Amino acid sequence: MAGLDPQIHMSFVKEDLLMTYRLAAVKGLIAQRLDTIPACWRMMHSVAAQLQHLNRLNKTIQELLSLEARNGIKSRKVSADMLNSSQPNLSEEALLRYQTLLQVTLKSQSCPAPRNLSEIALTRIRMVNVRNSVSGCNLLKEVAVMCQAVSDVVMWELHALCPEMEQLLRSLDKQAWTLPVPVTSPAPLRSGIAHGSATPETWASNESATGAITNKEALEGW
């Protein structure tokens, strides 16, 4: 499964840990390299993966609100029957479902979110008015940023507990899968990293820890 190796490495360099672990799971199952499967299973069933799924649902609801606004659809104002109906429209139903799933996820014992983060996020969702797509989308984007911060912390802390994946990424680094050198002026040098290249070892030592600390500090601010 050499064809998956550069994709695994590139996903890790791009800090897309979920995709890195998904591709590693595919590689492990096809090549019968079962040592990485437990680590991949833990990552893909973690709170981080759940929050990523909820962020995709968040994005879908934003698109739905924008679509309804473009089509001139007003909540419960399409017909006289709908005015007298207590049934929520599609956007409202999606928001209620999203709110329930997010509340369960943020309040689970495996989620390291600050105590008041759940209430802040749920308050933002309750403030969404399906008749105003612009303000509604802005509120949902705020919730997505909060969830992404929590997801990043969980992913990197879980990755630090997966030596099998570290071994796999080091083996890929030895195969010299590197990023292409930019044609335009290169970005400023980082300490210990050459122009146009990045490796799992340097990324893990220089980026992941810093990113996790930054996200933790941001979460404490909420």
- Whole-number pLDDT of residue 127: 92
pLDDT for position 15: 86
Round to whole Å and give the CA distance between 82 and 75: 9
Residue 5: CB atoms within 10 Å? 17
* pLDDT block averages, 10 residues each, the chain of length 222: 81 90 92 88 93 95 88 52 55 91 91 87 90 89 94 92 88 62 49 46 45 50 54
Residue 88: the pLDDT is: 58
Residue 58's H or E segment, with its range, is: helix 47-70
Using a 10 angstrom Cβ sphere, with 0-12 exposed, 13-18 middle and 19 or more buried, the burial of residue 164 is middle
pLDDT at residue number 50: 95
Whole-number Å distance between alpha carbons of 205 and 143: 29
For residue 157, give both structure tokens.
Answer: 């802390």
Give residue 2's pLDDT: 65
CA atoms of 219 and 37, how far apart (whole Å): 31
156/80 Cα distance (integer angstroms): 52
The number of CA neighbours under 13 Å toward the Cβ of 198 is 21
Q: What are phi and psi of 48, to 5 degrees?
A: -60, -45
State how far the Cα of 208 lies from the Cα of 15, in Å rounded to an integer: 8
SS3 content of the chain, % helix, strand, coil (to 5): 70, 0, 30
DSSP code at position 206:
I
* Count of CA atoms in the C-beta half-sphere (13 A) of 104: 7
